[in-house]
Amino acid sequence: MAAASEHERELEGWYNPPKEIQDEAHIASMDAYKARYKQSIEDPAGFWGEVASDFFWKVPPKSDHFLKYNFDLDNGSVDIKWMQGAKTNICYNVLDRNVHDKGLGDTVAFYWEGNVPGDTKQITYGELLKQVCKFANVLESKGVKKGDRVAIYMPMIMELVIAMLACARLGAVHSIVFGGFSAESLAERILDSTCKILITADASYRGLKMINLKEIADHAIIKCRERSFNVEACIVVRHLGPDKRVPTDPSSSPPPKRPCHQLQTSFDSSIDCWWHEVMAEASDEHDTVWVDAEDPLFMLYTSGSTGKPKGVLHTHGGYMLYTALTFRYSFDYHPGEVYWCTADIGWITGHSYITYGPMANGAISVLFEGTPFYPDCGRFWDIVDKYKVSKFYTAPTAIRSLMKFGKEIVTSHNLESLKVLGTVGEPINPEAWLWYYHVVGHNKCAIVDTYWQTETGGHVITPLPGATRTRPGAATFPFFGVEPAIVDEKGNELEGPCEGFLVIKRPWPGMARTIYGNHKRFENVYFDKFRGYYTTGDGCKRDENGYYWVTGRTDDCMNVSGHLLSTAQIESALVEHDAVSEAAVVSCPHKEKGEGIYCFATLMENVELDEKLIRELKQKVRLKIGPFASPDVIQSAPALPKTRSGKIMRRVLRQVAKNDRQTGDLSTIYDPAVVDSLFEARPHVPFLPD
């Protein structure tokens, strides 16, 4: 057998915590991690009580009431309570506490970078507190009170943070809808949560594309009326307006001098009002509304297997503790460092690791409205260089998309400030991990591959930068208070090295408490399949060193000729080839196998998919996984259909694989033209059923 190549050794290699990070780390060794983890499992009240002591409580939590729960449907309804009876407010803890108790009033909370380079601003914790108090008064004047639901449909602007924190200050429940969903999707979420107020903006740009948010919001309000529900008020931020800088095509030489876009914003004075007008009349003082630790903070809608989105509900107290601690330890954050999460606040990553977690630690953050590719594919690195970002958090999809442009665009920037590089949203394949480590991190940064979900509220399996020896693609070990297990199809817990379904055995403070208005669905989705466990819906393997490797959604697995295959594993094998920058794999009907393997490959610049490359890619999969995993079809995909947040729309790819143009709602896709190009380039597939 031939000796392993240097590249193959890298893929299987170990990476120790960088000494520079270890020397100042909150958790600086595996022994320290194990001791703290042991305490968090054996004495959760003591462990989380210590964390809680750093926060302000109007009524402190009692140790005998710290945790009460039932996970087992065989013993009644699922019920999770952390610190019930304690009184606090997360807004007070991320603003008033930082300004008045910690002296951070003049510290920058957010540097804002707009879609167009040069469109920037910043806001301090003291300024943010005043703005939040003003908007809390505005909401109160509109009749919003504790327990009411408020819909927020906005771009990545400062007013989005202000709005969500103002809701929290009042004890109102915010429901943020990603600013790219269709009017139907927005209306569906407003109706499900009965939001009486909608907050939006006139419009926003993503790269060269304008999204008319107010127009979409108007259609959503009409759809609500058609279903006998009235939105009482719509508060509109003038984000673009008549004077906003308009993006230009960077390929133009010289850039054309285009006039400002004359945005025509519809306005119904019976319900619409301008943000700047109502804020001008509001006081910048507002008392905090104290809430129970178990009172709802926000709901966030996530996809459901039935097609109906689920309003996952999180609460003030436990979520506050969990996001604060995971942020501090997962990124090893220290005061004065600049942190940047590239996610959108419309998703859970933005809730937990742009707003609540960083602000609970008094962090200095970057808030970014644009895309990685405008005005060119060096935008991320421009911003890292500009603000001397120390901790950077992005998605594997973004990393793979940037890999295809080569390393020169990265290395031409000064990225010496970087210390920790995080990934989020999906398992990162080893090739992308290594590119991130070598090219972006200059071989000196810790890579933090975080595993978590909307429902978990924060990281549940993750390396710690100063303690964990990492391996490319491994999620590594559980966070404090999280006790994972791997079970087989019958729910039997597996020991040692194994592969199966990832479940969690006990509650942690940041986990969701219910699905809004439908607790039975919460129980059925997360607790019915494996009684006594929280079911993540993900497959997982544990190796001989105890490391956890998340293999992807169990509904993203394929049963090919009796073999259960993870699409993520096949994708990882494909992108190990130097010619492939990104891959997406779906199943398709097969006359003989039942399910076939259909692969979409985005190739590096100036590479063509010929028969030789197809053979090499199939061989790569055969060698990495086995002959049974060899792809049936490999199609060149210059671009993949993605949402504006960068998530690959696999349901669309499944329709392309089947040659079925009934693709459904494409309102959230970043570039709908990608879908037509994939259908046009689709090769003949002889094995499809008639």
Say yes or no: 266 and 404 in one domain.
Answer: no
Say yes or no: 57 and 154 in one domain.
Answer: no
Is residue 224 situated within a structural domain? yes
| Residue whose entry in the numeric block shows the structure tokens 């951070």 | 104
Contact 429, 475 (CB under 8 A): no
Say yes or no: 430 and 359 in one domain.
Answer: yes
Is residue 263 situated within a structural domain? yes
Is residue 448 situated within a structural domain? yes
Query: pLDDT over 90 for what percent of the chain?
Result: 76
How confident is the model at residue 243, as a pLDDT? Answer: 63
CATH number at residue 142: 3.40.50.980
Six-digit token string for 640: 């993949």
Say yes or no: 278 and 218 in one domain.
Answer: yes
Pairing assessment for the beta strands 498-504 and 534-542 based on DSSP bridges: antiparallel
Say yes or no: 619 and 522 in one domain.
Answer: no
CATH number at residue 591: 3.30.300.30
Last residue of a domain, one of 228, 262, 296: 296
How confident is the model at residue 180, as a pLDDT? Answer: 75
Say yes or no: 462 and 343 in one domain.
Answer: yes
Say yes or no: 520 and 587 in one domain.
Answer: no
Q: Global pTM?
A: 0.85
How confident is the model at residue 253, as a pLDDT? Answer: 46
Residue 652: domain span:
561-681
Strand order of the β-sheet with 534-542 is 484-487, 498-504, 534-542, 548-553
CATH number at residue 392: 3.40.50.12780
Domain count for the chain, please give it. 3
Is residue 581 situated within a structural domain? yes
Backbone angles phi, psi at 485, to 5 degrees: -150, 160
Say yes or no: 155 and 24 in one domain.
Answer: no
Q: Which of 508-512, 563-567, 652-656 has the lowest mean pLDDT?
A: 563-567
Is residue 416 situated within a structural domain? yes
- The more confident residue out of 663 and 175 is 175
Six-digit token string for 95: 């603003």
Say yes or no: 268 and 323 in one domain.
Answer: no
Is residue 3 situated within a structural domain? no
- The more confident residue out of 650 and 256 is 650
Give the burial string for 446-481 (b: 16+ CB within 10 Å, else e).
bbbbbbbbbbbbbbbbbbbbbbbebbbbbbbbbbbb
Closest CA to 551 of 533, 565, 534, 530: 565
Last residue of a domain, one of 250, 267, 296: 296
Cα(356)–Cα(138) distance, integer angstroms: 22
Q: Which of 26-30, 326-330, 409-413, 428-432 has the lowest mean pLDDT?
A: 428-432
Closest CA to 179 of 672, 667, 674, 671: 667
Residue-wise pLDDT tens digits, 256-297: 333 344 577 888 989 999 999 999 999 999 999 999 999 999
Cα(560)–Cα(574) distance, integer angstroms: 18
- Chain-centre distance for alpha carbon 547: 23
Say yes or no: 219 and 360 in one domain.
Answer: no
Residue-wise pLDDT tens digits, 444-494: 999 999 999 999 999 999 999 999 999 999 999 999 999 999 999 899 999
Highest mean pLDDT among 442-456, 544-558, 560-574: 442-456
- Chain-centre distance for alpha carbon 93: 23
Last residue of a domain, one of 296, 330, 354: 296
Is residue 143 situated within a structural domain? yes
How confident is the model at residue 557, as a pLDDT? Answer: 67
Say yes or no: 78 and 175 in one domain.
Answer: no
Is residue 104 situated within a structural domain? no
Pairing assessment for the beta strands 548-553 and 364-368 based on DSSP bridges: unpaired
pLDDT of residue 514 exceeding 70: yes
Cα(52)–Cα(500) distance, integer angstroms: 35
Say yes or no: 36 and 130 in one domain.
Answer: no
Residue-wise pLDDT tens digits, 401-456: 899 898 999 999 999 999 999 999 888 888 899 999 999 999 999 999 999 999 99
Q: pLDDT band for position 11 (50/70/90)?
A: low
